[in-house]
């Protein structure tokens, strides 16, 4: 998996331990080395960046950004949400919201909120792809059906950026590496979404989630991921895996149901 994929907004393109601001020993023309001064002058900004990253990830900065961002987005998108909810009510009836248990931070279950995009099954075992309505396809392509998850963010169940929340019955199937995703609040957008949304196969998607969870998680990195997801959304790419309403069911490890 290339780390310089432009779709991920350049996330994790700098090797760990390296920074454009790393100090270097310098020698002025005709003078002696000034390694001590260069290191001292370069260390303060680097320490400042490290402290800022730690505060963002562990000290409440990310949660504060979630609260402010989700509240602003919910206010800005309220007319869009209201219009979409009315369209769902007129075409699919009640309920307007789809609620489903998902695994949150630490594997704790919570109720995920989405706008409905499927009609009720007409036959036993009818596939999700067959039940997906034309309106539902448009809602999913534009991610308008995900807007109610901003309420999940405000409740503290989700983050704006993080691994997508998956069903609780997937949790026992994760490898130890894949289970790293459970150390964080799940997100509306994330590294795997920026790489191609639902078109990304399971083994790659879960590895990207683990890579994000391993950190470092920074405000700048999250902002770049949000912009990368927005670009992908505007191109309506990766809405679903071929032959599926969203993705095939995860079967554990690198396997999945492609039937």
- pLDDT over 50 at 33, yes or no: no
Residue 114 falls within a domain, yes or no? yes
- pTM here is 0.77
Q: Report pLDDT for 253.
A: 66
Q: Is 151 helix (H, G, I), strand (E, B) or coil?
A: helix
Res 255 pLDDT > 70: no
Mean pLDDT, residues 120-143: 88
Do residues 163 and 212 lie in contact, with contact meaning Cβ atoms separated by under 8 Å?
Answer: yes
Q: How far apart are CA 219 and CA 145, in angstroms?
A: 26
Q: Tell which wins on pLDDT, 96 or 246.
A: 96
Reduce the secondary structure of 6-57 to three states and give it as a string: HHHCCCCCCCCCCCCCCCCCCCCCCCCCCHHHHHHHHHHHHHHHHHHHHHHH
Q: What is the pLDDT of residue 234?
A: 87
Percent of the chain scoring above 90 in pLDDT: 58
**Is 40 domain-assigned?**
no
Residue-averaged pLDDT of the chain:
82
DSSP-based three-state secondary structure for 84: helix
CA-CA distance, 183 to 172, in Å (whole number)? Answer: 15
Give a yes or no: residue 5 inside a domain.
Answer: no
Report if residue 154 sits inside a domain.
Answer: yes
- Split at pLDDT 50, 70, 90, the class of 161 is very high
Local structure of residue 242 (DSSP, 8 states): T
Model confidence over 8-20: pLDDT tens digits? 545 543 333 333 3
Asked if pLDDT for residue 117 goes beyond 90, the answer is yes
CB atoms within 10 A of CB 102: 19
pLDDT tens-digit readout, 35-75: 434 333 444 456 667 787 788 988 799 999 999 999 999 99
| 245 lies in some domain | no
185 in a structural domain: yes
Per-residue tokens: 50: 């490290």
Query: Tell me: the pLDDT tens digits for 193-210?
Result: 999 888 889 999 999 999
Q: How far apart are CA 245 and CA 117, in angstroms?
A: 10
The answer to whether residue 37 sits within a structural domain is: no
For 185, phi then psi, to 5°, come to -65, 140
Domain membership of residue 219 as a residue range: 56-239
Q: Is residue 33 part of a domain?
A: no
pLDDT in tens, 234-245: 887 777 666 666
Q: Is the pLDDT score of 220 beyond 60?
A: yes
C-alpha span between 204 and 160 (Å, rounded): 21
Token representation of residue 58: 């562990």
Mean pLDDT of 111-136: 90
Strands 97-103 and 109-115: antiparallel
With CA atoms as reference, report the closest residue to 1 among 154, 144, 208, 166. 208
Total domain count, the chain: 1
């Amino acid at each position: 998996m290339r780390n310089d994929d432009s779709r991920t907004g350049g996330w994790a393109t700098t090797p760990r331990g390296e920074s454009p601001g790393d100090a270097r020993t310098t020698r002025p023309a005709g003078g002696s080395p000034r390694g001590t001064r260069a290191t001292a002058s370069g260390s303060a900004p680097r320490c400042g960046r490290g402290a800022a990253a730690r505060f963002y990830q562990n000290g409440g900065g990310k949660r504060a950004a979630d609260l402010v961002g989700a509240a602003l987005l919910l206010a800005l998108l309220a007319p869009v949400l209201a219009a979409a909810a009315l369209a769902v009510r007129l075409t699919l009836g009640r309920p307007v919201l789809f609620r489903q248990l998902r695994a949150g931070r630490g594997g704790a279950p919570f109720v995920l909120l989405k706008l409905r995009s499927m009609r009720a099954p007409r036959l036993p075992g009818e596939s999700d792809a067959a039940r997906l309505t034309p309106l539902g396809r448009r809602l999913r392509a534009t991610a308008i059906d995900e807007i109610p998850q901003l309420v999940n963010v405000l409740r503290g169940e989700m983050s704006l950026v993080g691994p997508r929340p998956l069903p609780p019955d997937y949790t026992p199937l994760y490898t130890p590496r894949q289970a790293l995703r459970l150390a964080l609040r799940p997100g509306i957008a994330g590294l795997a979404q920026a790489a191609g949304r639902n078109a990304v196969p399971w083994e790659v998607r879960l590895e990207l989630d683990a890579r994000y969870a391993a950190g470092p998680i920074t405000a700048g990195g999250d902002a770049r991921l949000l912009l990368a997801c927005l670009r992908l959304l505007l191109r309506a790419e990766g809405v679903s895996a071929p032959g599926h309403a969203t993705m095939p069911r995860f079967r554990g490890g690198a396997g999945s149901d492609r039937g």
